[in-house]
Every structure is written in C-alpha cells, then in structure tokens.
Amino acid sequence: MTTLRLRILLGFFLLANVSLAAKPNILFIAIDDLRPEIGSYGSDLAVTPHLDAFADRGLQFSRAYCQEAICSPSRASLMTGARPDTIGVIENYTYFRDANPDIVTLPQHLITKGYETVHAGKIYHGKFNDLELSWSRQPARNKLALKGPTATGGYALPENRAIRKKNREHAEANYPPEARGGLGNGPAYESADVPDNAYIDGFNTDLAIATLHDLVETDPDKPFFLGLGFSRPHLSWVAPKRYWDLYDRENVPLATQTEAPENGAAMGLHASFELRTRHGIPKDGPIGPELATTLKHSYLACVSYVDAQIGRMIAALDEAGLRENTIIIIWSDHGWHL
C-alpha cells in the first residue's frame, strides 16, 4: 500500500496482535480539514487526549503529504490509490467514476475479499459517495432513536438557523445553483449547550457504533471495513459548548506571520473565500484580532469535539472485544490555514 502511505496527511495504523487465522477488521476514520493541531504532533494548545493516546499506541506519520489540498481530489485519490491528475479530479465538482467507471476503490476491493463494507458520515466528498460500488450495506439507522442530528441546517441555536435560512433564500433568488452553496451560509461558528449528537459528528458516531453492534450481531465471523467520516473541523465551526470551555480564549495565540514571505507564492497567504461567505465575516480586508481569536477558538473546539467522538468509537470497539483484531486508520483529507 505504498500509494496509500504517500497520500496520507494524518494517519496512524494500529496493528495489535492481529490473528493470522482471521482477516482483520478495519476501522477507517476520515476527518475534514484537520491540520496536525493535536498534542501528539506537538501542539501545546489543542486538547486531544484520545488522539494522543491512540498515537502513543500506534504509528504516527510525520512525513506524509496530501496529494491536493481540496476535499474531493484528496479523498478520491486516497480511496482509489491514483493521483488526482490520473483520475481527472482536481476540484470538488467532478465525480471520479465519470472518467474512471472501472476503477476499483479500497472498500470495493475488500468486498471481493469477503468483507462487509459500510460507512457513516463523510468518506468521499459530498454526493460522490460511490454508494453502488464501494459499500455492501447501509448503516444501521433502524437501531437509533434519533433519525438525524437535531441541529437542522448545521446550527443548534434558533437565531443561527434563521440567519442561514434568510441567506439561503437570498442566494436562491439571486444567484445560479453553482453559487448558492457558498453564498447561502449562516455564521462561521456556534457554541451551544447541547449533547454531542445534536450536531452531525456526534450523530454519525452514534450511527457508526450502532452499525458496529449490528455487524457483530448479524455475522460475527465476517470481517468488516467500517468508515466513519467527520465533518468538523471543516467550516462551519460548530461544537457543543463543553468543548469551547476546554480553552481560555485569552491563551489562544494568533499567527505571528501576517505578511507573505519574500518571493513566496501569492496563494500561500490568502483570505479564505469559504470563510468570507459566512455571516458576520468581513468580505474583504483584514480580520481583526478579536474575531480572529474567536475563529481559532472555534476551530480548536471542533478539534476537541471530534477527538471525543473518536474516543467513543474506539471505546465501542473495546467493549465489543474487537480491538485486538481491528486495524484502525485515522486520516485527514488536508489541513487549514490558521
């Protein structure tokens, strides 16, 4: 799997006493927009006890590079083992199957080797989830009381839902479809006193755990590839208040490099269009220190929120007695400018 190693920005492999007599299970965890802002990579700020403990037991890559720092190319490249330019995916609007109908993905290959493959959350980008070929079954939604996160539209607070609704209606009335997704957004961040599963990542962790139990109950001898994809810390930076409370904003430092390096690439220091479309963010010009601190605080809260969900997922493996025969991979599609 040389190509896999080259495509990983953040990854750990845990191979603990895997029985040679049985095919190992695989838990594949994909995180959106996670820069190596975690304790095991040297961050003095990020509160990531579960990722740190996992890195301590596994193998952490320190020289692994993203093929292309955009969601769809990075994910399609990883899952197919082919370069973005080879499969013709260099932006977020091309489905890799359109140009490569016969290419074999990692979970698709595992199906031919006797694996059950299933996912909860974001593994591929957006609607390009390859449901027909990569996944052999659906997650166990029937095992959950909730049918989805209660933070509809991504926000738990009514005022933020109203802002998003107003902006989306304005975008739909004034712009073509390709622009609406970017211009119909709510705030860049939210802190709400809600349970973890009010937001999408907590709900998808519940779904992945329920699916794990269902896999064991349905056919305990069949190996599985279980994908769990997290949407945070991608924008919008929404997380339960308890994760914001892990940080003192007075101790959240801002970047000291505010000017582009001499002779550096212009795009190396830029104001993110994706961030600028959010409500309350200046559309151009500098972002002041107060807002910048809040934005960085919100990103860190999301990192800790995802870390807690990873802890829950791994604990579920332990409780099911599957940890020793499960390969766990934790990976991020690319990082983020902070």
Using the Cα atoms of residue 38, residue 40, residue 45 and residue 48 in order, give the sign of their dihedral: positive
Closest listed residue to residue 64, CA positions, set 42, 36, 89? 36
- Within 8 A by CB and 6+ apart from 260, the residues are 266, 268, 269
* Catalytic residue list contains 50: no
**What contacts 196, CB < 8 A, 6 or more positions away?**
202, 205, 240, 305, 308, 309
Catalytic residue among 50, 66, 119, 125: 125
Beta bridge partners of 119: 227
- CA 176 – CA 182 distance, rounded (Å): 11
Is 125 catalytic? The answer is yes
What is d(CA 269, CA 90) in angstroms, rounded to the nearest whole number? 21
What whole-number distance in Å separates Cα of residue 265 and Cα of residue 276? 21
- Name the catalytic one among 50, 66, 71, 234: 71
Helix axes 200-218, 289-319, angle to 10 degrees: 10
Pairing of strands 237-240, 12-14: unpaired
Tokens describing residue 233: 């810390």
**C-alpha–C-alpha distance, residues 52 and 307, integer Å:** 9
Question: Among candidates 76, 66, 79, 61, which has minimal Cα distance to 33?
Answer: 66
| Active site members | 71, 125
